[in-house]
């Protein structure tokens, strides 16, 4: 196997596939780190599958067996923190013991890292795991490097925590309304991921969140306005793919086509239905995907959602040829890699519990097939479909070519490995932290300041910090104390009972000010949070309420005359909140979604674009 790998590399005239990247290429603080900036990015080149296929891609494809080609279509998890560590999850899922054996046995095209697979402990470990999986791929089968992916959307979906740089999520960036900052955030994220050996980020989310009760998108969306979402989606595609040379960047994956923004059902657990007409889709859902394609996104992820007025077959988009081929490929002109959302989700299995959904998704127009429930059976089903004539090997070749071109664009055939010794400088640098603070300071949105409590330049003597999130309450109390006042932290959880509400209200009367945090209090299941805020608002103590996730909470407690929203409870957002509260920075965030008035259906309590500043 090893001999074949070196023969292929020599024949194609490539750099040795096992080459290790230089320190500078992994270090954002190096002189080369800013060779592309938001206003001065390197020109996007060769971003789509159109045009001539590189010679080495054609040569690799010509040397592959059908089984090797089919393996390239699949991206799945491998359990374990090192490539050679046995893990019961691998035995249960694949009948082998180690991550390396998963790659070797199935000749995979890609791996996706999660915390629940024990793949994401800390940056150096991630880099070493990624390297060893790449070495395994290079030394087996066709000797083709892997795509290594994760979902580092930032904000609500962040797979890799500290010391990786924390940045605001999409709705927060929507509040900032600055494509430059959105691109910079994606650039930081992308370069840090690549330093850890991750080559594909399943981001940005391009869904237009027009449904306040959306259970799965919400703050993961840039907002409710198609034009705003399109501008920021485009910026993040450039940030992921164009801030540096190929070996410094990652493939962007815009999701979830044709749009997940108007659902009230979670596609992880059921099959949502969106009733948009074709005209509504073109006006509302399509613009972010259209601009992402124009920006050169390497890949687009599908949604497990039925659109009966776009395709009357009854199939979810992931399995719909009308949607993936007719709309994404033909109407929008996308020629890059189409990847499914996880094929383990109920949204795709509900209609086909006993059928080979991998074959159905490929036939619809997908290239990469993500996390099938039974990988071995899925691979065999695709091979059998080719041999029976249900699928053509020509279509397999077309998809594999797209996948190989994506790998080529990210420099994987030249430089698939990273330098674990450089990870400490590249990931979580102070320079990136400073940039993250500046970006996040532009996202905090003041919705109401009727009593003039803000900014708190005349510091109260003591403050009660209470409400949702024990860690978040404690963190904000610490930040308040750093600024002079005494602060008591009294978390209540997501559903405080009546006794807790009474106890906290009594404590509030003994303080000079109260800061109360909410998270998804608009949901009926969390209505007790509203009871707490209302009870606090009926005291004589000044109350500042902060929605640390969706801004919709602010419409549910009119007794409180000071409301802010941060769109996230991560530390970087809480720190920016403290700076706004105490007048260290001025709030500039504007609502990227309207906040409906629950008392007057059809009316907004706070309109799109609303935001108080000083």
Residue 214 lies in a domain: yes
Distance CA 46, CA 246 (A): 11
- Name which residue leads in pLDDT, 101 or 264: 101
Distance CA 461, CA 35 (A): 48
Contact 262, 320 (CB under 8 A): no
Domain of residue 571, CATH code: 3.40.50.1700
Distance CA 583, CA 581 (A): 6
Domain of residue 163, CATH code: 3.20.20.300
Residue 50 lies in a domain: no
Q: Does residue 546 sit in helix, strand or coil?
A: strand
pLDDT for residue 51: 60
Same domain, 335 and 289: yes
Radius of gyration of the chain, Cα coordinates, nearest whole angstrom = 25
Same domain, 421 and 481: no
Domain edge (last residue) among 431, 461, 489: 431
State which H helix or E strand residue 111 sits in.
strand 110-112
Same domain, 422 and 532: no
pLDDT for residue 50: 55
Q: Which residues are catalytic?
A: 341
Give the pLDDT mean for 478-506: 97
pLDDT for residue 410: 97
pLDDT higher than threshold 60 for residue 385: yes
Domain edge (last residue) among 385, 402, 431: 431
Residue 48 lies in a domain: no
Q: Could you tell me the sign of the dihedral formed by the alpha carbons of 8, 130, 93, 158, in that order?
A: negative
Distance CA 479, CA 580 (A): 12
Residue 47 lies in a domain: no
Same domain, 470 and 415: no
Distance CA 300, CA 293 (A): 9
Give the pLDDT mean for 305-320: 96
Which of 93, 107, 205, 90 shows the shortest CA–CA distance to 151? 205
pLDDT for residue 346: 85
Q: How many domains does the chain have?
A: 2
Distance CA 339, CA 394 (A): 19
For the segment 244-300, what is each residue's pLDDT rounded down to a tens digit? Answer: 899 999 999 999 999 999 998 777 878 899 999 999 999 999 999 999 999 999 999
Same domain, 402 and 504: no
Residue 35 lies in a domain: no
Place of tokens 């907002």: 223
Contact 98, 133 (CB under 8 A): no
Residue 439 lies in a domain: no
Domain edge (last residue) among 408, 431, 454: 431
Distance CA 44, CA 440 (A): 27
Same domain, 328 and 220: yes
Q: Is 598 left (phi over 0), alpha (psi -120 to 50) or beta?
A: alpha
Same domain, 71 and 158: yes
Give the pLDDT mean for 210-223: 95
State which H helix or E strand residue 251 sits in.
strand 251-257
Same domain, 257 and 402: yes
DSSP state string for 26-57: H-TTSTTTTSSBTTBPPPP-S-SS-SPPPHHH
Distance CA 228, CA 147 (A): 30
State which H helix or E strand residue 564 sits in.
strand 562-565
Query: 164 is written with which tokens?
Result: 């990786």
Same domain, 320 and 364: yes
Domain residues for the domain of 339 are 2-29+56-431
Residue 211 lies in a domain: yes
Sequence-ordered list of residues with C-beta below 8 angstroms from that of 301, at least 6 positions apart, any chain: 202, 253, 254, 255, 256, 257, 338, 339, 340, 341, 370
Contact 572, 446 (CB under 8 A): no
For the segment 455-476, what is each residue's pLDDT rounded down to a tens digit? Answer: 998 878 999 999 999 999 999 9
For the segment 320-353, what is each residue's pLDDT rounded down to a tens digit? Answer: 999 999 999 999 999 999 999 999 998 888 889 8
The pTM of this model reads 0.90
Q: What is the DSSP letter of 463?
A: E
Residue 614 lies in a domain: no
Same domain, 142 and 201: yes
Sequence-ordered list of residues with C-beta below 8 angstroms from that of 446, at least 6 positions apart, any chain: 454, 563, 564, 580, 587, 589, 611, 612, 613
Same domain, 353 and 461: no
Beta partners for residue 518, in sequence order? 547
Same domain, 426 and 523: no
Runs of H (alpha helix) within 389-515: 393-409, 423-426, 430-441, 470-482, 498-508
């Amino acid at each position: 196997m090893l001999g074949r790998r070196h023969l292929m590399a020599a024949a194609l005239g490539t750099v040795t596939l096992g080459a290790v990247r230089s320190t500078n290429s992994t270090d954002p603080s190096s002189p080369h780190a800013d060779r592309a900036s938001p206003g001065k990015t390197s020109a996007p080149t060769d971003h789509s599958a159109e045009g001539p296929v590189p010679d080495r891609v054609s040569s690799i494809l010509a040397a592959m067996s059908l089984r090797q080609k089919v393996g390239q279509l699949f991206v799945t998890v491998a359990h374990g923190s090192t490539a050679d560590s046995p893990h019961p999850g691998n035995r249960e899922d694949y009948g082998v013991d180690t991550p390396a054996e998963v790659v070797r046995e199935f000749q995979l095209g890609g791996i996706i890292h999660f915390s629940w697979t024990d793949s994401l402990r800390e940056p150096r470990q991630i880099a070493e795991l990624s390297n060893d999986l790449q070495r395994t791929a290079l030394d087996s089968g066709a000797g083709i490097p892997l795509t290594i992916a994760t979902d580092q959307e930032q904000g609500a979906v962040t797979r890799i925590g500290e010391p990786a740089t924390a940045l605001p999520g999409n709705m927060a960036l929507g509040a900032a309304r600055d494509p430059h900052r959105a691109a910079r955030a994606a650039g930081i994220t992308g370069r840090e991921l690549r330093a850890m050996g991750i080559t594909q980020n399943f981001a940005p989310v391009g869904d237009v969140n027009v449904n306040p009760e959306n259970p799965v998108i919400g703050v993961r969306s840039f907002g409710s306005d198609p034009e705003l979402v399109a501008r920021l989606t485009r910026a993040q595609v450039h940030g992921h793919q164009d801030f540096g040379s190929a070996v410094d960047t990652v493939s962007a994956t815009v999701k979830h086509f044709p749009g997940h923004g108007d659902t009230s059902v979670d596609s992880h657990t059921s099959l949502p239905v969106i009733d948009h007409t074709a005209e509504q889709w073109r006006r509302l859902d399509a613009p972010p995907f259209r601009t992402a394609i124009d920006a050169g996104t390497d890949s687009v992820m599908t949604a497990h959602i039925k659109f009966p007025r776009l395709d009357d077959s009854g199939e979810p988009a992931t399995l719909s040829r009308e949607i993936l081929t007719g709309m994404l490929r033909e109407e929008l002109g996308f020629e890059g890699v189409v990847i499914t959302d996880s094929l383990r989700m109920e949204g795709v299995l509900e209609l086909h519990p006993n059928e080979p959904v991998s074959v159905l998704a490929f036939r619809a127009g997908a290239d990469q097939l993500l996390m099938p429930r039974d990988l071995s059976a899925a691979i065999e089903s695709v091979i059998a479909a080719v041999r029976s004539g249900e699928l053509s090997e020509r279509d397999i070749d077309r998809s594999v070519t797209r996948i190989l071109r994506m790998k080529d664009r990210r420099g994987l055939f030249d430089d698939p490995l990273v330098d674990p010794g450089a990870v400490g400088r590249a990931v979580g640098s102070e320079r990136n932290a400073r940039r993250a603070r500046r970006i996040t300071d532009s996202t905090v949105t003041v919705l109401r300041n009727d009593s003039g409590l803000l900014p708190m330049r005349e510091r109260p003597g003591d403050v009660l910090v209470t409400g949702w999130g024990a860690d978040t309450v404690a963190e904000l109390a610490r930040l308040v104390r750093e600024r002079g006042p005494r602060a008591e932290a009294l978390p209540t959880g997501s559903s405080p009972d009546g006794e807790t509400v009474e106890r906290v209200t009594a404590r509030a009367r003994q303080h000079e000010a109260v800061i109360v945090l909410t998270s998804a209090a608009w949901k009926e299941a969390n209505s007790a949070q509203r009871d707490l805020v209302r009870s606090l608002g009926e005291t004589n103590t000044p109350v500042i309420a902060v929605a640390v996730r969706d801004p919709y909470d602010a419409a549910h407690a009119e007794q409180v005359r000071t409301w802010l929203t941060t769109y996230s409870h991560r530390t970087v957002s809480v720190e920016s909140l403290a700076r706004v509260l105490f007048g260290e920075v001025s709030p500039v965030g504007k609502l990227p979604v309207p906040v409906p008035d629950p008392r007057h259906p059809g009316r907004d309590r706070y309109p799109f674009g609303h935001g108080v500043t000083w």
